[in-house]
Structure 1
């Protein structure tokens, strides 16, 4: 699963928060973990941003033991659910509570690596993902799917063992753990986890004097890129990178434009979720465009359908429900055959729950979630996300949320809730200007019927806007 690590090249390394192991050292420490896991089936990993987490996960994978990454800030009820639902045999590296035995990880330990025959269809990870209701569901991700996802991205991004990936992403989800750590190890490259996603930390990975050289690829979420553009003297230090990657949410157009202006590089975006890993990505040799996440990677197919499962035309404008199938998709939800069946079509496609448009050349644009971001107005199917991206391009707009409110004539009317930047005041003239901006950059039928000024937007504990609280 990690052939690049097994070459044990002493010039390659993994670094987390300034602590470093060469590949031979990592392999030796992970081999000791694998030996300690003899007889275990599944372990929970409190996914702190530490070298112990990385060594523990790698050791479990070498041993053929499935991993349940647990967010370090999990609440009592959520933690109890993870442990009851997944039923791990032990905590690995560090404990989230005292209900399970702890298997410690010693990063200084060294043991000979003994290869174990592991089935490619065996579960590598149980990734918990939150839905709109109920407790998180455990996504069963096989070793085969993880490998297919990483190999597909390697092909799309010309990603090789010569690359050094730098990021400061959490280690309990796909972006930070699978892409950001296992990806380089599969290819034989370097990992620099800067521990905190600050502009200073990212710039530190670009230091040409650092041991092993500067990073060539940077992974970040839009929040980090937004903070970097506010520190142009630091962002400019990333100018010598080969690839800047943004994911986990849409990158606002103004941020994309500023990154390009400051670094001379256009960020590439990608799309995926816990159930599918990364399915769509802008290629390294492609033409990045803000808001567009690229084309399907090797081994993946996508399609757009309407509410009756009829095909939606790929014209770059028509909105449909996005469905995915291919080598990277999951094997179902743990202990939830009902949820698995609900998420899967009779002909084997996964219902992502996202709405999107696909251009004639195959490029995808995600415009929101079907449950809250698909607006049906006057016979049109409209994605709230593309309206929000356009509004964020106006210098007065700090943040916004677009919703569809019930309307006797239109079915739903488009309403934009807008938070203004400091120095701007809400007025009828500004509202008219924002509506006109949407009409000029998108289509007339996508213009908000009303703009409402807000001092802030309702968010959950993860920082995501709760649009249902904006509806009447």
Structure 2
């Protein structure tokens, strides 16, 4: 099977098969325009594309993949330093642009991705082990690293999700996610082009746009779902959908419950990383619970280890670093053998850096990042996510982020940053102490106007200015 099987083998002739930000084309029209790009770039090693939410981005990505050329999506909101680093690090040979004119921020030959250009050529399918994408990580611990994602890994991920979610050509997928991340690009764009079905990328993921789309399958991040849950009319419009899927960060329990009341849907949560693609997910035909991200996809293995690499029991309580092994893993970090070696064990296990629990039934719960979300205080191991959930249960709390900060006696203390209305720090500390074990209560609560987030809505705890 070719990577984009549905597009290349049975292209959808419906005029609205692929819709992005209000503009639509048929599958056969997309394929013809992408083939024209493939004719231009064939023989190159890597090409970059400014990954705006546009049909031209889809044409460019698909064209390069048809030609067997590795695609490097550049975030459209990247600053000069990040853009320069990505282009220098990946050594792209050309830049894909809508009109074929060079961009003022890249000294590279430009290749047009215009829908007005078409070709009937059909290049042979490249080797499955060839890199399809280089996706750059968020760079929270230095400059972004380029993760080499093979065609085989993408196919394994999408096929696993199609099985878990009962995803078929009858589905209309609706989302408004960035096209330079796994969620929006691999799942939200390449997914329907492999599995079949229509795509409606609504541009900005506003509740009204989701409500008006009439989809069967919806993708969103917690920020999107939170805003939809806050608009009951928009949420109720999703009752006719088949599946609502959330990822990229933990979905607050209050949002899960609110959507269940308004839409009659229990949201499907899933887990993955740039380096692993999606590895764990709740199933369309399986149980779902707020805060759990399901079970491993076909062929994927997971296990937990402590800080010394020793085994942690899968009892639903004990926390450990989540290790992943399987066909969806990336091929390594570009130009960073040191980082690649540090992220893996010799037997093929990848260190996610995330802290999780695994229940006896195999269901996973992600506690948070080992670097920021596992708090060691007075001999206790405390998951930041549990404290955040407790804070969010208070009616005056809209957002919460919990971290460990240095403490002379305890080693670390639980510190919370809260966006709220009419609440005090003392009130919140007492509230959590009544809900959880006393040692899990925040020792300090900072009331703030907003929490720093990235493009996918993830709270960036390293930017909280933590100091105690």
TM, length-normalised to structure 1 = 0.93
1:124 aligns with 2:122: no
The answer to whether the 8 Å contact 2:343/2:350 transfers is: yes
Indicate the SS of the match to 1:419: strand
- Rate the CA distance shift 1:430–1:36 in 2: closer, same or farther, 3 A: closer
- Residue by residue over 1:132-171, the C-alpha shift from the partner in whole angstroms, topping out at 9 and shown as x without a partner, is 3221000000000010010111111011111110000110
Structure 2 distance, partners of 1:165, 1:222, is 17
Indicate the SS of the match to 1:294: strand
Q: Tell me the equivalent position of 1:426.
A: 424
Structure 2 distance, partners of 1:356, 1:262, is 29
Indicate the SS of the match to 1:139: strand
Gaps of 5+ in 2: none
Q: Tell me the equivalent position of 2:365.
A: 365
Q: Tell me the equivalent position of 1:404.
A: 404
Larger displacement relative to structure 2 (95-104 or 233-242)? 95-104
The answer to whether the 8 Å contact 1:426/1:453 transfers is: no
User: Residues 281-360 of structure 1: matches in 2 within 5 Å?
Assistant: 281-360=281-360
Among candidates 432, 435, 447, match of residue 433 of structure 2: 435
Larger displacement relative to structure 2 (22-31 or 409-418)? 409-418
The answer to whether the 8 Å contact 1:368/1:374 transfers is: yes
Instruction: Note the C-alpha offset of 1:30.
Output: 1.1
- Rate the CA distance shift 1:449–1:103 in 2: closer, same or farther, 3 A: closer
Structure 2 distance, partners of 1:398, 1:252, is 11
1:9 aligns with 2:5: no
Q: Tell me the equivalent position of 2:243.
A: 243
Instruction: Note the C-alpha offset of 1:451.
Output: 4.3
Q: Tell me the equivalent position of 1:454.
A: 447
Q: Tell me the equivalent position of 1:233.
A: 233
1:51 aligns with 2:55: yes
Among candidates 19, 28, 35, match of residue 32 of structure 2: 28
Q: Tell me the equivalent position of 1:212.
A: none
Instruction: Note the C-alpha offset of 1:221.
Output: 0.6
The answer to whether the 8 Å contact 1:16/1:49 transfers is: yes
Structure 2 distance, partners of 1:427, 1:86, is 47
Structure 2 distance, partners of 1:460, 1:390, is 21
The answer to whether the 8 Å contact 2:42/2:68 transfers is: no
**How many residue pairs end up in the alignment?**
457
Instruction: Note the C-alpha offset of 1:25.
Output: 1.1
Q: Tell me the equivalent position of 1:271.
A: 271
- Rate the CA distance shift 1:131–1:404 in 2: closer, same or farther, 3 A: same
Gaps of 5+ in 1: 207-214
- Rate the CA distance shift 1:416–1:98 in 2: closer, same or farther, 3 A: closer
Instruction: Note the C-alpha offset of 1:468.
Output: 6.2
Q: Which runs of 4+ in 1 moved over 6 A?
A: none
Q: Tell me the equivalent position of 2:258.
A: 258
Q: Tell me the equivalent position of 1:71.
A: 75
Q: Tell me the equivalent position of 1:210.
A: none
The answer to whether the 8 Å contact 1:436/1:447 transfers is: no
Instruction: Note the C-alpha offset of 1:446.
Output: 5.4
Structure 1 distance, partners of 2:412, 2:63, is 53
Instruction: Note the C-alpha offset of 1:427.
Output: 6.0
Instruction: Note the C-alpha offset of 1:470.
Output: 1.9
- Rate the CA distance shift 1:460–1:205 in 2: closer, same or farther, 3 A: closer
The answer to whether the 8 Å contact 2:377/2:411 transfers is: yes
Larger displacement relative to structure 2 (170-179 or 85-94)? 85-94
CA RMSD of aligned residues (A): 1.8
Structure 1 distance, partners of 2:229, 2:74, is 31
Structure 2 distance, partners of 1:40, 1:430, is 58
Indicate the SS of the match to 1:197: coil
Among candidates 448, 465, 468, match of residue 461 of structure 2: 465
Structure 2 distance, partners of 1:155, 1:122, is 24
The answer to whether the 8 Å contact 2:419/2:451 transfers is: no
- Rate the CA distance shift 1:432–1:47 in 2: closer, same or farther, 3 A: same
Instruction: Note the C-alpha offset of 1:241.
Output: 0.3
- Rate the CA distance shift 1:355–1:445 in 2: closer, same or farther, 3 A: farther
The answer to whether the 8 Å contact 1:372/1:468 transfers is: no
Structure 2 distance, partners of 1:38, 1:32, is 10
Q: Tell me the equivalent position of 2:111.
A: 103
- Residue by residue over 1:277-315, the C-alpha shift from the partner in whole angstroms, topping out at 9 and shown as x without a partner, is 001111011121111111111111111000110111111
Structure 1 distance, partners of 2:453, 2:131, is 31
TM, length-normalised to structure 2 = 0.94
The answer to whether the 8 Å contact 2:306/2:312 transfers is: yes
- Residue by residue over 1:410-468, the C-alpha shift from the partner in whole angstroms, topping out at 9 and shown as x without a partner, is 433323333322xx23164553123212x1xxxx2652152424133563665623366
Q: Tell me the equivalent position of 1:62.
A: 66
Instruction: Note the C-alpha offset of 1:363.
Output: 0.7
The answer to whether the 8 Å contact 1:8/1:24 transfers is: yes
Structure 1 distance, partners of 2:335, 2:260, is 46
